Amino acid sequence: MGDLHKYKLPIIWIVIALSLGLACLFFTRTETPITPIAVLPEKPTFSQHIAPILLKNCLPCHRKNGAAPFSLESFSAVKKRAKTIARVTLARYMPPWPADPLYSHFIGEKVLSQIQIDMIQRWYKTGANEGPKIQFAYVPPLISRSTIRKPDLVVQFDSIALHEGDQDRFYIMKAHVQIPQDRVVSALEFVPGVYGLVHHVNGHLLLYRDGNKKKPKYANVTIDVSQPNQTYRFKALELEQDDGSLPERIHSAFNYLPGVEGIEYPNGIGNFTLSKNFAVVLNDIHYGPSDQEAIDHSVLNIFFSKNKPKRKTSEIMLGTNGRSKITPPLVISPNQISTHFTRYTIDADISVLTINPHLHQLGKSFLAFAIKPNGDTIPLIRINRWNFNWQYFYTFKKMTKIPAGSEIVAIAVFDNTTSNKSNPNRPPIEVRERFDTGGASMRASDEMFQCILTYTPYQTNDETISLEKNTP
């Protein structure tokens, strides 16, 4: 009896499994191809079907002087690259949007729908035809180089000459500004001069209040920190107040990475008072290796508001330089794929506005979520294929509440093998976090693991406030 049972059960399970498997095959066979065939035209044309997709999803970068290395602003330019366009859209490599839209949603999400991807495939496979002639040029929604609106104040930095063949260059730049009166500021937007070459910017504000700072000798100062022995020049920045003390500082008041656009929050969230005597300090601005001769004129656009500053935003930084340690420590052996995590418990209810995952070239994937005290999970961000070039400050569509006592967890996977195409070392060598006197090394050849959240203390109904543009 016992023996019979032993043999009978597995056979029943095999039969069930087989029939389930067959049923799956049957259903998927009939279902998958139907949807696209039903809606796709037999022979899509550029002007009727492809141009609208490119206009919205590609031309913001693939235009003259855009962030992308070539323009797609004519049929011939698109036709010439039809094969690559079909490949990169199918692989979801373009448009660049590393965050997984199946996990969480953000403002400005750049993701093609399956139908759009299938449309491009079919257009390419049926001969990449033009169709009726159309005017196809991109009019960027830029007003004085802003995507928000016309700025109230534009701060200029020194111009930097970039030469073909230049390697990574890092500068500290200061611009000292005086305006007639204190103003409430609702948004700051860094706009690079040469989009393709500015790799990142960390910007800080120094506020001189109460007439404690006379006009510095130089309004604009630039220090090339990629050159050795520049520290003696820091004095030339003249950041101190007249009595030698340091003024009030807004750390990381703005940031820039390729693809980042300025955002003005609704309801006075994040507004602050800018003193009439202030300095903007880029510490630092990083230019990537240059493939051209160019002069960069980057600016900071400042937007004023009539609303009083009501709700201050702050930052929680996990990992490198942050509040929580990385486990195991960030030392990545050659030829290894290694997983590291960092976690931090918050002690008050917060409303999260943005999240910025940050790794360097060995990054492979990234996941961040919060675990509430009751055990529920709040998804924050998932990046299945890390891309060093696309490190956005992702802004949630609506503020995300994380209740007091929740633990924020970030998990990063690093790939230090040769199958990681971005691995700068062939053969791979040990790569780790490094700390200089000023904090962690930001050099792309050292590693970092950070998860930065901006938040404001929670208020009732915050979850319903949309952060998208044009909301009252």
81 touching ligand HEC, by CB under 6 A: yes
Least distance in angstroms from the C-beta of 373 to ligand HEC: 38
Nearest CA to 68 out of 263, 258, 292 is that of 258
Quote the distance between the C-alpha of residue 439 and its chain's center.
22
Nearest CA to 198 out of 283, 285, 294 is that of 285
- Residue 464, Cβ neighbours under 10 Å: how many? 8
Binding ligand HEC by CB under 6 A: which of 50, 61, 206, 260? 61
Binding ligand HEC by CB under 6 A: which of 50, 67, 185, 410? 67
d(CA 451, CA 203) in angstroms, rounded, equals 18
Least distance in angstroms from the C-beta of 43 to ligand HEC: 20
Residue 314 sits at the vertex; the CA angle it makes with 308 and 315, to the nearest 5 degrees, is 155
Binding ligand HEC by CB under 6 A: which of 45, 46, 50, 95? 95
Quote the distance between the C-alpha of residue 167 and its chain's center.
23
57 touching ligand HEC, by CB under 6 A: yes
94 touching ligand HEC, by CB under 6 A: yes
Binding ligand HEC by CB under 6 A: which of 74, 84, 126, 327? 84
Edge to edge, what strands does the sheet with 272-274 contain? 153-156, 299-304, 183-191, 272-274
Using the rule CB under 6 A, give the single segment among 3-11, 80-88, 182-190, 346-354 that binds ligand HEC: 80-88
Using the rule CB under 6 A, give the single segment among 32-40, 59-67, 181-189, 441-449 that binds ligand HEC: 59-67
Least distance in angstroms from the C-beta of 111 to ligand HEC: 10
d(CA 239, CA 229) in angstroms, rounded, equals 19
| Ranges of H-type helices in 97-148 | 114-125
Inter-CA distances, 344 with 76, 276, 383, 445, 453, Å: 52, 38, 20, 27, 12
d(CA 4, CA 32) in angstroms, rounded, equals 42
Binding ligand HEC by CB under 6 A: which of 69, 141, 373, 438? 69
Beta bridge partners, 435, equal 440
Name the token pair of 309: 């500053």
d(CA 449, CA 210) in angstroms, rounded, equals 40
Beta bridge partners, 390, equal none
Residues 368-407: x where in contact with ligand HEC by CB under 6 A, - otherwise, as a string: ---------------------x------------------
- Residue 468, Cβ neighbours under 10 Å: how many? 12
Least distance in angstroms from the C-beta of 85 to ligand HEC: 4
Residues 109-148: x where in contact with ligand HEC by CB under 6 A, - otherwise, as a string: -x-x------------------------------------
C-beta separation of 150 from 259 below 8 A: no
Task: Give the nearer residue to ligand HEC in terms of CB position, either 78 or 352.
Answer: 78
**Full DSSP string of 377-388:** EEEEEEESS--T
Least distance in angstroms from the C-beta of 61 to ligand HEC: 3
Least distance in angstroms from the C-beta of 78 to ligand HEC: 8
428-457 residues near ligand HEC, rule: CB under 6 A: none
Least distance in angstroms from the C-beta of 81 to ligand HEC: 5
Query: Binding-site residue total for ligand HEC (CB under 6 A)?
Result: 21
Least distance in angstroms from the C-beta of 53 to ligand HEC: 7
191 touching ligand HEC, by CB under 6 A: no
Beta bridge partners, 187, equal 303
Using the rule CB under 6 A, give the single segment among 54-62, 175-183, 248-256, 418-426 that binds ligand HEC: 54-62
Least distance in angstroms from the C-beta of 387 to ligand HEC: 7
Q: Which residues contact 26 (CB under 8 A, 6 or more apart)?
A: none
58 touching ligand HEC, by CB under 6 A: yes
88 touching ligand HEC, by CB under 6 A: yes
254-293 residues near ligand HEC, rule: CB under 6 A: 259
d(CA 204, CA 284) in angstroms, rounded, equals 10
The type of residue at 395 is T
Residues in contact with ligand HEC by CB under 6 A are: 54, 57-58, 60-62, 67-69, 81, 84-85, 88-89, 94-96, 110, 112, 259, 389
